[in-house]
Amino acid sequence: MPEIGIGFHTDAFNSSHKSFEEALAWAQEHDVHYIEPGVIEGASWIHGLGYFPHISLIEDPVLLRRKMESYGVEFSQIDAAYPLSGRDGLTVAVPYIQKAIAWASLAGSPRVATTDGLHKPEGLGDREALDLMKRSYGEIIRVAEAHEIVVNIEVHGYFTTRPDWLAEMLDFCGDTPWLRLNLDTGNTFIAGNDPVEFAERFLDRINHVHIKDVSESLASAVRGGATGIAISHVPAGGGVNAENIRSILRKLSAHGFDGVLSIECEGEGGPMLADSLTWLRREIAEAGFTERVPSFAALSS
């Protein structure tokens, strides 16, 4: 049976204003061993006072990794998804992502998430923006190869929710193992795609998965007119995308996927995330997966 990890994005604790360490404590309490935070460059008061469940690139990555290990948790991915499709892709996004890659290599994160913008970039034609992103990913992957970190393109925006453009983006750097796909089950759905067909097309490229359901009310209001959901306000299994997620899990299992499923939902300070976790654990067993526990976590338990 293929082994996969289960984790969550710390966005789940945004509205409850919890700290990253409180997210670690929640993970430990619920026997979750993978976590995916966003990263900022620099310091902010909201981060310093503990109201922010993400991390800063000025934190020491090795010391943070050791703290996480004391909770039995490691990174599945760090989220450095500043949009690469706009005019500031080269000047702002690229150096930010490059720094996140170097930091990730010391912090023990095997992956860094990237993406495009939600909307057609202002002042650029589609081909201009794609050419700009190709140049940007060339610079990013040069650093990723040096640090042996996988850079994932997340399905989230104007270009990445269109399968033909996404296929082109995944081939920007040729046949490299360092550029892969972060499938998002909710964003593919809200953009008007069939998430199962979308996943099937890119099975060979999927490296990390965001498990995100969609409420019936949101789907009725914006499906086909939006490209991404900032955070889902329904637990996994509780929305209109549940059957698609279930089918995707079975396809991933049959294909031998061995990455991490990262839950993305509002969380409500924990309860909605707990409901998602219960549902997902049941579904991965039905799909033929076993849940992976990192070796250091197994030894400390």
* pLDDT for the residue numbered 267: 86
Instruction: Name the stretches of the chain with pLDDT < 70.
Output: 298-301
Report whether 139 contacts 178 (CB < 8 A). no
Are residues 12 and 264 in contact, defined by beta-carbon separation less than 8 angstroms?
A: yes
Q: How far apart are CA 115 and CA 159, in angstroms?
A: 9
How far is residue 157's CA from residue 214's CA, in Å, rounded to a whole number?
17
Burial class (CB in 10 A: 0-12, 13-18, 19+), 239: buried
Instruction: Provide the pLDDT for residue 296.
Output: 78
Do residues 97 and 140 touch, judged by C-beta distance below 8 A?
yes
Determine the pLDDT at residue 294: 85
**Non-local CB neighbours of 53 within 8 Å, separated by 6+ positions:** 10, 11, 12, 13, 14, 18, 19, 20, 22, 23, 37
Using an 8 Å Cβ cutoff, are 101 and 114 in contact?
Answer: no
Q: What is the DSSP string of the chain?
A: --EEEEEEEGGGGTTTT--HHHHHHHHHHTT--EEE-BEESS--HHHHTT--SSEETTS-HHHHHHHHHHTT-EES-EE----SSSTTIIIIIHHHHHHHHHHHHHHT--EEEE---SSPPTT--HHHHHHHHHHHHHHHHHHHHHHT-EEEEES-STTTTSHHHHHHHHTTTSS-TTEEEEEEHHHHHHTT--HHHHHHHTGGGEEEEEE----HHHHHHHTTT-S--SS-SS-TTSSTTHHHHHHHHHHHHHHT--SEEEE-S--TTTHHHHHHHHHHHHHHHHHT-EE---HHHHHH-
Give residue 232's region: left, alpha or beta (phi > 0; psi -120 to 50): beta
Predicted structure pTM score: 0.96
What is the model's pLDDT at position 142? 98
- The pLDDT of residue 261 is 98
In the chain, the number of structural domains is 1
Instruction: State both tokens at 195.
Output: 């998430």
Place of tokens 């795609």: 193
Domain that holds residue 66: 3-300
Sign of CA dihedral 51, 53, 58, 62: positive
Strand partners, 38: 79
Read off the CATH number of the domain in which 198 is found. Answer: 3.20.20.150
Longest dimension (CA), the chain: 54
What is the Cα–Cα distance from 120 to 210, expressed in whole angstroms? Answer: 23
